[in-house]
Amino acid sequence: MHKDIATPIRTKSILEKYGFSFKKSLGQNFLIDTNILNRIVDHAELTEDSGAIEIGPGIGALTEQLARRSKKVVAFEIDQRLLPILEETLSPYPNSKVIHQDVLKADVGQVIETEFAGIDDVMVVANLPYYVTTPIIMNLLEKKLPIRGFVVMLQKEVADRISAKPGTKDYGSLSIAVQYYTEAETVMIVPKTVFVPQPNVESAVIRLTVRKEPPVALKDEGFFFQITRASFAQRRKTILNNLTSQLPDGKAKKEQILEALQKAEIEPTRRGETLTIEEFAKLSDELYKDFK
């Protein structure tokens, strides 16, 4: 058994050996606690027949644990300076592969097809770079990839927003977008002390299980998301005010908006944060004919 990468001493010696310095702009915070890493991997429920996709492997601390517990792990790393480090740290794991690419620009569907041929169970497991967490999650969800789900570390604040329920202050268009595609739950809160350098924010691990079917049937998915975003444009405003000010020609079509709210059985004085996904679905379907 090889020595774990994720210990303070081993991490320090690897970074010193390569003269590596952290880039703030890339949101680099490396995990130095094997217990935490193991718990993250536990939540992904991998088997020796699973494939794992990682984003931002750093020096390979999580990659190593994933490689030990899955059939294959593929990691996307944007920082060229980490490639020689990963080549060394992951050398004991021939079932690991690093792709030097920005995951937001990569054809992840193609990578899954090529790298995970014959593997039916694929999970995204990552300590995500915090500055770009939401775009990564949304980008991968919108692609409707053949994956079972995600277990990812992110800012606690973003995790709270993703898993929020209607009627809470954290609930918003991000909650709805992610929960439309997945079932979301926060599974762990992670202290700052297990990272080097320590981040300025609290961290949490969230598990997203991709739904086989969306929770609601819609006339138009893109339009539904447009309506949910518009409804939260200014949180203090009522749903009527937000839709009137945010939708194209909303002011001129106030009557149609009122009528749609009535048909969807939604009081115009309610705020966006009180509406369930089902209510937003009804509303967007009612508004569709007037605004599409």
The neighbour count for residue 146, using CB atoms within 10 Å, is 14
Determine if residue 127 is labeled as part of a ligand binding site. Answer: yes
CA distances (Å), 77 to each of 82, 170, 220, 234, 251, in order? 8, 31, 35, 36, 47
Work out the number of other CB atoms within 10 angstroms of the CB of residue 121. 17
H/E element holding 218? Answer: none
- How many other β-carbons are positioned within 10 Å of the β-carbon of residue 31? 23
The pLDDT, as a whole number, for residue 212 is 94
pLDDT tens per residue across span 158-172? 999 999 999 999 999
Distance separating alpha carbons of residues 112 and 119, to the nearest angstrom: 9
pLDDT at 129: 86
More confident residue, 270 or 196: 270
| Distance separating the N- and C-terminal Cα atoms of the chain | 60
Is 102 part of any known ligand binding site?
yes
Q: Is 222 annotated as a binding residue?
A: no
Mean pLDDT for the stretch of residues 129-153 = 95
Contacts (Cβ under 8 Å, ≥6 apart) of 204: 153, 154, 155, 156, 159, 160, 186, 188, 189, 190
pTM for this entry:
0.93
Tokens for 23, please give them.
């880039």
Helix-, strand-, coil-residue percentages of the chain, each rounded to 5: 45, 20, 35
Domains in the chain, ordered, with CATH?
A: 8-210 (3.40.50.150), 221-291 (1.10.8.100)
Q: Is 56 annotated as a binding residue?
A: yes
Q: Is 31 annotated as a binding residue?
A: yes
Q: What is the mean pLDDT of residues 285-292?
A: 92
The share of the chain scoring above pLDDT 70, in percent, equals 99
Question: Does the annotation flag 240 for ligand binding?
Answer: no
